[in-house]
Amino acid sequence: MIEGIAPCVDGGRFAAKRVVGDVVTIEADIFADGHDLISAVLLHRHESETAQSETRMTALVNDRWRAELPVDRLGFFYFTFEAWIDHFLTWHRDLKKRAEADLEVQLRIGLEMIRSAAGGAKDRDRKRLEHYVAVIEGDDEIQDKVHDVASEELVRLMERNAERKFATSYAGELAIEVDPRRAGFSAWYELFPRSAGAEGKHGTLRDVEAQLPRIAKMGFDVLYLPPIHPIGATFRKGRNNSVAAEENDVGSPWAIGGKEGGHKALHPDLGTMDDFRRLVDAARSRGIELAMDIAFQASPDHPYVAEHAEWFQTRPDGTIQYAENPPKKYQDIYPFHFESDAWADLWKELCDIFRFWIDKGVRIFRVDNPHTKPLPFWHWVIRTVKKHRPDVIFLAEAFTRPKIMYWLAKAGFSQSYTYFAWRNTKYELTKYFEEITKPPVSDFFRPNAWPNTPDILPEYLQYGGKPAFTIRLMLAATLSANYGIYGPAFERFVGSPREAGSEEYLDSEKYEIRNWGPTDDDLTELIAVVNRIRRDNPALQQNLTLQFHETSNDDILCYSKSAGSDVVLTIVNVDPHNTQAGYVDLDLAVLDLDANQPFQVHELLSGARYTWHGPRNYVSLNPHVVPAHIFRIRRKVRSERDFEYFL
């Protein structure tokens, strides 16, 4: 019986997710009737292969079995199982337990199995198996024969060559989708290209290129640009989302399409397609990948509206239905009508938009509001794109109900926005991240934590000042292997809402150009330090080992991550207004620490080092100085020359 497989997403309907270089732990419950021993193997192959490779599984406890599968290539790996009652292994286990009078008969039973295996073996295996046949048939004493055939070499030989009579094969294959490393570990920086220029001027892609040294110095490896297409003039939005635009208002970049073109065109004020390719190459030369926004909607001036009216929904008065989320109205945007009779042609064209920008060098797409489009469309289009370009990464901007967010991830999105922006307290953060960083959710859902976006200015940032931005940076960068900020609004502590109770920014970049001049106070240097810590510590480059630890103060959050010998402990004061102090109670077993030995904690933000003893230690954090500690734990060890040092 083979059941209880992990990883297994929705019974195998969807693939589990990993990145290149991961070693996937695969487990299953495997058992049979009676007391005989069983054996099991993991059968696996890459999608480019037809022949299966075989990895022997190891028995754990309570009929649980495990094997490890290194995934070294992009694309899909497929795996299944085979298990059987292992008569030779049972015989081998019981041989030394047999009574003296029974040994000769038992050796004959073993002889038949070994001889049969030798008949099908090749080369050295055949010779070694024939050696054991000769041992049993020889003239040595019975106990000597028993001693000789008790060898582990014989067990290994029989594992490779013995008959697997009545073996059970698991029905079907399960899949693991292997994405680029950046899908599992990345730091995103968002900016509006039109705001990248000099004071009073519309920014260009060349101006964005000039920002690359600053972005690289901060340690970001993904630069995300909101839509860079022509913007419609009809019903154009004015500043602060006004429905009446002034003559010089530039409109919302998400109102895509004008006389200059649509989703496959650049806004003429940003530059040319050659400028775009140059930006992609310049970013890549600095270790930064360009991420492009994909928003499947059109302004009334989009060429699609005139050329493919069948792709839009018409109201009884003959006008096209604009987007709305009552009571909000978005007259500057027409949603595509996915239920039209021409849906197949629409799907193909939208898929071609991805292909167009992939040809221009784009490998990462941030998809706007995917939860408002048919879910099967995303499953189809992502699989279609990744069939030919498995190195493409998709980020789902779906702030919606959990089941829809999770389904989009299962359907193929490589990363997902989260509810992190609204999780502020120790309790909220603990419960939420325990859910999204542990199986079964973590097998398909990769969180990307953003403390702010152009659409979301949380109340916490509106009233917390610089300490609040610092706290949210520390949390995002250490709780999640993928995180991002909307800058420079974030690094400059921009926290003024359009009106009380709103999460909209006052003078939002979504509706106007904001030229960010020099400043004497921002988070640039601290961001660079935090991103360097992330790069230097493999523990922070994954989520699976995230473990929360108890604290005596509900405003102090403590958690750890580990990767081999690299163990990082983060302690954060989540109160942006007041100094908070208390005790942290570490789970020493999780940290692989000896309760009887001191250990050193190396504070990576300041460089300070402290020696701690036991699980309970005191901390005090002033949010107006630095509201967090990021410690690397160094264990005390003894050298061969008998002196102690910290590892």
Residue 433: both structure tokens together: 């991240």
Q: What is the CA radius of gyration of the chain?
A: 30
- Give 522-526's long-range contacts (Cβ < 8 A, gap of 24+): 522/488, 522/491, 522/492, 522/493, 523/466, 523/469, 523/470, 523/473, 523/490, 523/491, 523/492, 523/493, 524/214, 524/217, 524/218, 524/491, 526/470, 526/473
Kindly report, residue by residue over 573-606, the tens digit of the pLDDT. Answer: 999 999 999 999 999 999 999 999 999 999 999 9
Residue 518: the pLDDT is 87
Kindly report, residue by residue over 49-78, the tens digit of the pLDDT. Answer: 999 999 999 999 999 999 999 999 999 999
Which residues have a Cβ under 8 Å from the Cβ of 8 and sit 6 or more positions away? 16, 174, 443
Residue 295: both structure tokens together: 């928003």
What are the helix (H) ranges across 70-202? 87-95, 103-120, 123-137, 142-149, 152-161, 181-184
> Tokens 């059968």 identify what position?
43
Residue 444: the pLDDT is 98
The DSSP bridge partners found for residue 100 are none
**Average pLDDT of the chain?**
95
- Other C-beta atoms closer than 10 Å to the C-beta of 293 total 20
Quick one: average pLDDT of 433-456?
A: 98
Q: Domains (ranges, CATH) in the chain?
A: 2-178 (2.60.40.10), 419-434+462-497+537-647 (2.60.40.1180)
Q: Is the peptide bond before 300 cis (omega within 30 degrees of 0)?
A: no
Rounded to an integer, what distance in angstroms lies between the CA atom of residue 321 and that of residue 277? 36
Quick one: average pLDDT of 224-231?
A: 98
List phi, psi (to 5°) of 453. Answer: -145, 170
Do residues 598 and 587 lie in contact, with contact meaning Cβ atoms separated by under 8 Å? no
What number of CA atoms fall less than 13 Å from residue 641's CA on the CB side?
2
Rounded to an integer, what distance in angstroms lies between the CA atom of residue 474 and that of residue 572? 8
Residue 134: the pLDDT is 94
Which residues have a Cβ under 8 Å from the Cβ of 532 and sit 6 or more positions away? 219
Residue 353: pLDDT band (50, 70, 90) is: very high
Residue 256: the pLDDT is 98
**626 has a pLDDT exceeding 70:** yes
Percent helix, strand, coil in the chain (nearest 5)? Answer: 30, 25, 40
Residue 517: the pLDDT is 86
Residue 466: the pLDDT is 97
Rounded to an integer, what distance in angstroms lies between the CA atom of residue 464 and that of residue 470? 10
632 sits in which H/E element:
strand 628-638
Tell me, yes or no, if 459 is annotated catalytic: no
For residue 340, which amino acid is it? S
Q: Dihedral of CA 236/237/243/246: which sign? A: negative
Do residues 176 and 16 lie in contact, with contact meaning Cβ atoms separated by under 8 Å? yes
635 sits in which H/E element:
strand 628-638
Residue 415: both structure tokens together: 């990363």
Residue 446: the pLDDT is 98
Rounded to an integer, what distance in angstroms lies between the CA atom of residue 443 and that of residue 37? 31
Q: List C-alpha distances in Å: 61 to 28, 65, 439, 628.
A: 11, 8, 20, 40
Kindly report, residue by residue over 140-153, the tens digit of the pLDDT. Answer: 888 989 999 989 99
- Catalytically annotated residue among 397, 491, 512, 522: 397
Which residues have a Cβ under 8 Å from the Cβ of 55 and sit 6 or more positions away? 41, 42, 44, 67, 68, 69
Of the listed ranges 106-110, 385-389, 548-552, the one predicted with least confidence: 106-110
Per-position DSSP letters for 549-587, written without gaps between them: EEESSTTEEEEEEEETTEEEEEEEE--SSS-EEEEEE--
- Catalytically annotated residue among 190, 301, 368, 555: 368
Kindly report, residue by residue over 403-413, the tens digit of the pLDDT. Answer: 999 999 999 99
H helix and E strand count, the chain? 15, 31
Between 571 and 145, whose confidence is greater?
A: 571
Residue 218: the pLDDT is 98
> Tokens 């990462």 identify what position?
364
Quick one: average pLDDT of 100-125?
A: 91
Q: What three-state secondary structure class fits 193?
A: helix
**647 has a pLDDT exceeding 80:** no
Rounded to an integer, what distance in angstroms lies between the CA atom of residue 68 and that of residue 624? 47
List phi, psi (to 5°) of 136. Answer: -70, -35
> Tokens 């059109």 identify what position?
298
pTM reported for the whole predicted model: 0.94
Q: Dihedral of CA 330/331/335/337: which sign? A: positive
**220 has a pLDDT exceeding 80:** yes
Rounded to an integer, what distance in angstroms lies between the CA atom of residue 392 and that of residue 373? 20
Quick one: average pLDDT of 517-540?
A: 96
Rounded to an integer, what distance in angstroms lies between the CA atom of residue 93 and that of residue 155? 10
Which residues have a Cβ under 8 Å from the Cβ of 410 and sit 6 or more positions away? 9, 10, 13, 14, 444
Rounded to an integer, what distance in angstroms lies between the CA atom of residue 109 and that of residue 103? 10
Tell me, yes or no, if 199 is annotated catalytic: no
Degrees to nearest 5, angle at CA 449 with 444 and 452: 145
Residue 325: the pLDDT is 81
